[in-house]
Chain A
Amino acid sequence: MNGKINIDNLFKAAFEDFEAQPSSEMLDNILGDAFDISVQSSFEDFSLPPSAYIWENINDAIPTAADKVLSTSFDEFTAVPPIHLWENISESIHSEADKLLNNSFDEFAVTPPAHLWENISDSIPSEVDHLAVSSFDEFAVTPPVGMWASIQEELNVEENFDSKFQEAFLAFEAQPSEHILDNLLNTKFDTGVRRAFMRHEVSPQEAVWDRIKPYVRFGPSIQRHLPTLRRVAAVVLCLLMFTFLYNKLDRGGIIDIVGTNPDKTKTTTKKDIEPTIPIQNEEEQPLKSIFEDNDTEGIVSVEKQPVNNETPEKNTNIDQRFTSKSPLLSVKENNRFDLSATSSVPPVSTVNDKAVLLSSTFSTTVTPTENERTEELISSVSNIEISELETYIPGTIISQTDWNNLELPETPALQGFREDYLVESNLMDMGEDSDLAKMMLSYKGFYLSSSFSSFYSRIYNDAVRESLSEDPLDYLVDGGVSFGIGAGYQLTPNFGIEAEVTRTNLSQSYRELTEQTVFNSASSLKTTYLYIPLSFKYQLSRSNSMNRRIPRTFSTVLGMHYGKLQSTQTIEERPIPEDAFIQQELGVFTGLDYHFYFSPNIHVTLGGRLAAGTDFEYLSAPFEAGTPYNVQAGVRIGLNYRFATRKYKWDRGIY
């Protein structure tokens, strides 16, 4: 500060005498400097402590000792990079192999096929082409002389060429070809007809519905198969009727002769007898009764007495020798048959060598008071065992009598006798053949059987049908065959059981019902089952042809079967999974058998069977919709062998 003041003084002294007029600019500078200096000097000793945060900031920026240690600790730090990093890098770096590969193609050259060049060369103009083209460069042909003249003439005549064309076609008409018009008109015609029938409805007469109703009584599943069911039912019914009638007619013949048919022989009752009973001639010799001596061997003389017009005229007596342990008939010496005043037994006569028990004679020889006793005696006849009767009636004598035409009076007492008689008579009138009949009707024991069946089959199975076609299918008639062997046991003369093992082929054909293939598409498939049927047979107790050398008889059959699927054969282009078929089947069957007995050992069976079965899985609800069924209806022929031993035959008088 003092220095500055001295300078000022010095300047003052130096320039004390100096006088110069300074420029105004200089003065400004001087004044300006002076200002600056004064400002500088004013801040010379100025100081101000900085804010605390400034030091903090500075301090943060200065590396600490820890920082230094940390930085030095990483001086030697190295880390191995992961392998895939190198793989990634190496992939992007050209390897030696790449380079080699690149180099190997440096000299690579392939000769293109010859035709390539030919193709190319064809498209490149050749020298000849060039020559040809260039040869026409200067080519010019002078048109004929008259051409230009004619054009010029036309142009001169018609100034507007286009308008000439327009005018030329102004009145042009062309007739389209006939078929185009036809098509157009036909289309319109068709449209008209189609439109006319678009909403065409006509109510049918009421009678049509009445005619439809009988054909749609049941649901479609039943209704569709009704014709088949009807046919089966008709066949079964016919067989049953035939059996019944055959039986009835055969018996009826006897019964009528006996007196149940009023047209042939009036039924004799106590009431009827009374008015017509003549008084027995007391002068006649008393009858010798066989009842007096049970072991009496006597002669039964039978005499017909004309009581009514229906009595045969021929008066022929027959002798019937027999012994009886029971009181049965009395014999009169004058060949009159009577009951020796204590008994009443139907007298017998013969007409045309046929034995006839004459009810009229019988009636005339009893008095009303005796009639009751007579019935008592006759009732005792019914208690006689037929076997006993047979024992005491020699077959030779019996065979001479037409027992089928034997007339018996219709009395309650004789009713039981007649029933037994009818059965046994079938054996008795056979002569030689009765032996076989006896055998047939009395056999008990084992037998073997073999059979062949042919039948109409149906495989009702929605799963199979759906696998076969997406379209609705209708069943067609198809068949199958079956072979089997079996064994049976005749428990009683009537009742027997039989088990078989059969191999059965079932087939089924279908027809597609869709719009496209309603007429002409049929498909079929085949299956093979192993069946084990167990049947219960009831044989009629009498032969249908006892007077023939080959006795025959009916038996009814009822049973159940188990079946197991063996194989399937389906249509090649429409494969069906095997599990769609019934795998294990349980079913029932029924039928009729007709037996022909050629010998005591061998008999042939013709029969019919109706069988149906379903899968085990469906047994809990076998009648629900969608349940699969295998159905068979057909005929069978069987060959059977009975173990009728020599002793068996001997015991029964069969030699």
Chain B
Amino acid sequence: MAEVLTLGFTQEDLIKGCIAGRRDAQEVLYRYYSPKMFGICLRYANNYHSGEDILQEGFIKVFNNIDKFRGEGSFEGWIKRIFINTAIEHYRKSTNHSGHAELEKANFKQVSEVAVENLATQDLLKLIQKLSPGYRTIFNMYVIEGYTHKEIAGKLDISEGTSKSQLARARNILQKMVKATNG
């Protein structure tokens, strides 16, 4: 039996409703998935409003392409990929890769997961948002979404080596900020 998401709608109902252009189905789908997706958007954005822009753009894409979802795999995963791609597009539009050069290689002691756990997610989010767009995107894709360097290189049109080095720098900077926040 299909999982009932909310208001008696199953996932299948929602998809069919959205394909038919039904506003109630669209709204239910939005209400159900928007908190999760907004979390993703905020991680890729440098501030709250940019996150909202990505969210808006992503949902418009979801609704306008929902008939292309073939039911293979998780629907949430499909939506999530659209949002990540939208965030990447947003990053590509808003900046170029020269921004990476602004950060020098950090040289400091590592911080462990304990230090990270001491931070609230919101604080950590703020720290991630402070990263430059390129670092932030690569860090999110590798660390949180679990993309490989090869996949990241393909999506961002950069080399694998660049992806690795950018990730290392992003991680170093973030660790430094975490350490500073923890005192």
Which of A's residues lie within 8 Å of B, judged by CB?
181-182, 185-186, 188-197, 200-205, 208-209, 211-213, 215-224, 472, 474, 513, 515-516, 518-520
One digit per residue, 1 when the CB lies within 8 angstroms of any chain A CB and 0 when it does not, for chain B 80-92 equals: 0100010000000
Whole-angstrom CA separation of A529 from B50 in the bound complex: 48
Are A196 and B52 touching (Cβ within 8 A)? no
Task: Return A475 CB to nearest CB of chain B, in Å.
Answer: 11
- A-facing residues in B1-58 (Cβ within 8 Å): 18-21, 23, 26-27, 30, 34-36, 38-39, 42-43, 52, 55-56
* The one of B43, B52, B68 that contacts A205, using a Cβ cutoff of 8 Å: B52
Is B59 at the interface (CB under 8 A from chain A)? yes
Task: Return A645 CB to nearest CB of chain B, in Å.
Answer: 58
Are A189 and B35 touching (Cβ within 8 A)? no
Are A186 and B110 touching (Cβ within 8 A)? yes
One digit per residue, 1 when the CB lies within 8 angstroms of any chain A CB and 0 when it does not, for chain B 102-117 equals: 0000000011111111
Are B171 and A189 touching (Cβ within 8 A)? yes
In the complex, which residues of chain A have a beta carbon less than 8 angstroms from the beta carbon of B137? none
Whole-angstrom CA separation of A633 from B30 in the bound complex: 35
Whole-angstrom CA separation of A472 from B62 in the bound complex: 13
Are A193 and B42 touching (Cβ within 8 A)? no
Are A194 and B144 touching (Cβ within 8 A)? yes
Are B64 and A204 touching (Cβ within 8 A)? no
Whole-angstrom CA separation of A201 from B51 in the bound complex: 13
Given A212-B56, A215-B60 in contact, is the A190-B143 Cβ separation under 8 Å? yes
Given A192-B116, A197-B121, A513-B65 in contact, is the A520-B143 Cβ separation under 8 Å? no
Q: Which residue of B lies closest to A182 (CB)?
A: B110
Task: Return A198 CB to nearest CB of chain B, in Å.
Answer: 9
Whole-angstrom CA separation of A519 from B65 in the bound complex: 16
Q: Which 6 pairs of residues, A with B, have the shortest CB-CB distance? A: A192-B113, A192-B116, A472-B68, A219-B21, A185-B110, A201-B35
Are B113 and A201 touching (Cβ within 8 A)? no
In the complex, which residues of chain B have a beta carbon less than 8 angstroms from the beta carbon of A515? 81, 85
Q: Which residue of B lies closest to A187 (CB)?
A: B113
Are A189 and B39 touching (Cβ within 8 A)? no
In the complex, which residues of chain A have a beta carbon less than 8 angstroms from the beta carbon of B85? 515, 518
Whole-angstrom CA separation of A202 from B110 in the bound complex: 29
Given A186-B110, A201-B39 in contact, is the A220-B60 Cβ separation under 8 Å? no
Whole-angstrom CA separation of A8 from B52 in the bound complex: 151
Q: Apart from A195-B117, A217-B21, list 10 A-B contacts with CB within 8 A.
A: A185-B111, A186-B171, A194-B144, A200-B39, A212-B30, A219-B21, A219-B67, A220-B66, A516-B151, A516-B154
Are A192 and B117 touching (Cβ within 8 A)? yes
Are A519 and B155 touching (Cβ within 8 A)? yes
Task: Return B170 CB to nearest CB of chain A, in Å.
Answer: 11
CB-defined A-B contacts under 8 Å, sample of 6? A189-B113, A189-B175, A200-B39, A203-B34, A515-B81, A515-B85
In the complex, which residues of chain B have a beta carbon less than 8 angstroms from the beta carbon of A196? 116-117, 119, 121, 124
Task: Return B116 CB to nearest CB of chain A, in Å.
Answer: 3
Task: Return B115 CB to nearest CB of chain A, in Å.
Answer: 8
In the complex, which residues of chain B have a beta carbon less than 8 angstroms from the beta carbon of A224? 64-65
Whole-angstrom CA separation of A208 from B35 in the bound complex: 12
Are A212 and B121 touching (Cβ within 8 A)? no
Whole-angstrom CA separation of A221 from B157 in the bound complex: 30
Is B63 at the interface (CB under 8 A from chain A)? yes
Task: Return A201 CB to nearest CB of chain B, in Å.
Answer: 4
Whole-angstrom CA separation of A150 from B30 in the bound complex: 86
In the complex, which residues of chain A have a beta carbon less than 8 angstroms from the beta carbon of B154? 516, 520
* The one of A185, A200, A204, A520 that contacts B55, using a Cβ cutoff of 8 Å: A204
In the complex, which residues of chain B have a beta carbon less than 8 angstroms from the beta carbon of A221? 19, 67
Whole-angstrom CA separation of A374 from B115 in the bound complex: 104
Whole-angstrom CA separation of A516 from B70 in the bound complex: 17
Are B59 and A212 touching (Cβ within 8 A)? yes
Whole-angstrom CA separation of A213 from B110 in the bound complex: 46
One digit per residue, 1 when the CB lies within 8 angstroms of any chain A CB and 0 when it does not, for chain B 142-157 equals: 0110000001001101
In the complex, which residues of chain B have a beta carbon less than 8 angstroms from the beta carbon of A223? 21, 63-64
Whole-angstrom CA separation of A133 from B119 in the bound complex: 75
Are B155 and A208 touching (Cβ within 8 A)? no
* The one of B20, B34, B117 that contacts A204, using a Cβ cutoff of 8 Å: B34
Are B157 and A520 touching (Cβ within 8 A)? yes
Task: Return B6 CB to nearest CB of chain A, in Å.
Answer: 14
Whole-angstrom CA separation of A375 from B20 in the bound complex: 64
Task: Return B48 CB to nearest CB of chain A, in Å.
Answer: 9
In the complex, which residues of chain A have a beta carbon less than 8 angstroms from the beta carbon of B42? 202
In the complex, which residues of chain A have a beta carbon less than 8 angstroms from the beta carbon of B112? 185, 188-189, 192
In the complex, which residues of chain A have a beta carbon less than 8 angstroms from the beta carbon of B115? 192
Given A194-B143, A220-B65 in contact, is the A211-B56 Cβ separation under 8 Å? yes
Given A186-B110, A472-B68 in contact, is the A209-B27 Cβ separation under 8 Å? yes
In the complex, which residues of chain A have a beta carbon less than 8 angstroms from the beta carbon of B34? 203-204, 208-209
In the complex, which residues of chain B have a beta carbon less than 8 angstroms from the beta carbon of A220? 18-19, 21, 63-68
Q: Which residue of A lies closest to B42 (CB)?
A: A202
Task: Return B125 CB to nearest CB of chain A, in Å.
Answer: 8
Q: Which has the most chain A C-beta neighbours within 10 Å: B20, B68, B117, B175?
A: B68
Are A472 and B157 touching (Cβ within 8 A)? no
In the complex, which residues of chain B have a beta carbon less than 8 angstroms from the beta carbon of A209? 27, 30, 34
One digit per residue, 1 when the CB lies within 8 angstroms of any chain A CB and 0 when it does not, for chain B 130-166 equals: 0000000000000110000001001101000000000
Whole-angstrom CA separation of A474 from B124 in the bound complex: 37
Q: Which residue of B lies closest to A516 (CB)?
A: B154
In the complex, which residues of chain A have a beta carbon less than 8 angstroms from the beta carbon of B38? 201-204
Q: Which residue of B lies closest to A520 (CB)?
A: B157
Task: Return A460 CB to nearest CB of chain B, in Å.
Answer: 12
Given A185-B110, A192-B113 in contact, is the A216-B81 Cβ separation under 8 Å? no
Q: Which has the most chain B C-beta neighbours within 10 Å: A185, A193, A212, A519?
A: A193
Task: Return B176 CB to nearest CB of chain A, in Å.
Answer: 11
Whole-angstrom CA separation of A196 from B144 in the bound complex: 10
Whole-angstrom CA separation of A518 from B156 in the bound complex: 11
Task: Return A426 CB to nearest CB of chain B, in Å.
Answer: 49
Whole-angstrom CA separation of A603 from B21 in the bound complex: 48
